[in-house]
Amino acid sequence: MKRSFLFPGQGAQYPGMCKDFYDKSETVRDLFLLADKVTGRDLKSLLFEGTAEDLKQTENTQIAVTLMNLSIRRYLIENGVQADGTAGFSLGEFSAMVEAGILTEKQVLPMVIERGEIMARVAKENPALAGGSAMAAVIGMASADVSSNVEDIKDAYAANFNAPTQTVISGTVVGIEAASAKLKEAGARRIIPLKVSGPFHTPLLDDAMKYFVEYISSLEFKDPVKPMYSNVTGKRVGSGVEAKELSGLQIISPVKWIDIESNILSEGFDSIVELGPGKVLTGFWKSASKEISCLPTGSVEVADGIS
């Protein structure tokens, strides 16, 4: 068996997330203690007591989702379940870098807080975003058609290529409203607003990329010890130097998730497990393979069934 761990990003969070893993596993409780120490925050209160609105804020979402992703990773490893390769969707890529040996938990936990705070600050300060930002999932239209329909609309971009007929658009509220109207007219079956607070994976966050690149400039990114696939390229990350460069570019670049899934399949992985809240990546995987299922692990009860 050749197994890949997949880690979700923003949008899958919910109040009370990860409490069952915390209650059952000492190694997960140890991770929460480490997280509090290196971030200076009470993260148990955020995850277990925070409201949906609290968790929606970028500066909270990124650390909450990452902490749950890494908690499930610890829980599975503790129970003898390990992976031969990995990838993460958007923010989830930082959890994947821990799995690939590129970064440590101690590095990643404060890193994603800094990343979230930078992105939130830029989203508030950018004059182009004075009217707000938005993202929406376009359902029932080929990704190439989504891209061609939005390319001439100001401040609207094709941002996440999730599945052959599911693409996320991202930009300003005005841009996404205009893009949504055009896409509906062009034949999109549904357009679903997403629970996010920034125009992620677009050039509107160019300043956030610059600030984040400056923040990570002194940090060491090691060469991967197992295959990890990049959101920016869809391909394997070849070195720590490349991983560091792609970490900055990822903020403004589309997520090539369809390409990642294709490369995972072509390289012989036959067991796919999603580590994190929800079942978003499990849903995406259904369009990638009819023979190999992606198994979610969002609760202890489900995670205990992985072997």
- Domain definitions of the chain by residue range: 3-125+203-303, 127-193
Tell me whether residue 201 is one of the annotated catalytic residues. Answer: yes
d(CA 89, CA 254): 11
Question: How many CB atoms are closer than 10 A to CB 251?
Answer: 26
Query: Out of 201, 230, 253, 271, which one is annotated catalytic?
Result: 201
Given the candidates 3.40.50.1360, 3.40.50.300, 3.40.366.10, 3.40.50.1820, the CATH classification of the domain at 3-125+203-303 is: 3.40.366.10
Q: For 187, which DSSP code?
A: T
Amino acid at residue number 97: M
Residue whose C-alpha is closest to residue 177's, from 200, 197, 156, 148: 156
Residue that the structure tokens 């997280």 belong to: 35
Rg (CA), the chain: 18
Buried b / exposed e over 205-231, threshold 16 CB at 10 Å, is bebbbebbeebbeeeebeebebbbbbb
pTM of the model: 0.95
Q: Is the pLDDT of residue 114 over 90?
A: yes
Q: Please state, for a pLDDT cut of 70, what percent of the chain lies above it.
A: 100
Tokens 């610890």 belong to which residue?
A: 74
Amino acid at 57: Q
Phi, psi angle pair for 183, to nearest 5°: -70, -40
List pLDDT tens digits, range 148-203. Answer: 999 999 999 999 999 999 999 999 999 999 999 999 999 999 999 987 778 999 99
Strand partners, 158: 169
List pLDDT tens digits, range 62-107: 999 999 999 999 999 999 999 999 999 999 999 999 999 999 999 9
CA–CA distance, 188 with 98 (Å, rounded to integer): 37
Whole-number pLDDT of residue 270? 93
Give the model confidence (pLDDT) of 244-276 as tens digits: 999 999 999 999 999 999 999 999 999 999 999
User: For all residues of the chain together, what is the average pLDDT?
Assistant: 95
- Whether residue 239 lies in the annotated active site: no
The mean pLDDT value for 232-250 works out to: 98
User: What does the DSSP 8-state code read for residue 138?
Assistant: E
From 4, 25, 71, 90, the catalytic residue? 90
- Give the model's confidence band at 12: pLDDT under 50 very low, under 70 low, under 90 confident, else very high: confident
**Could you tell me which of 162, 168, 202 has the C-alpha nearest to residue 188?**
168
| Burial of 86 from C-beta contacts in 10 A (0-12 / 13-18 / 19+) | buried
Question: Which CATH class, in words, describes the domain spanning 127-193?
Answer: alpha beta
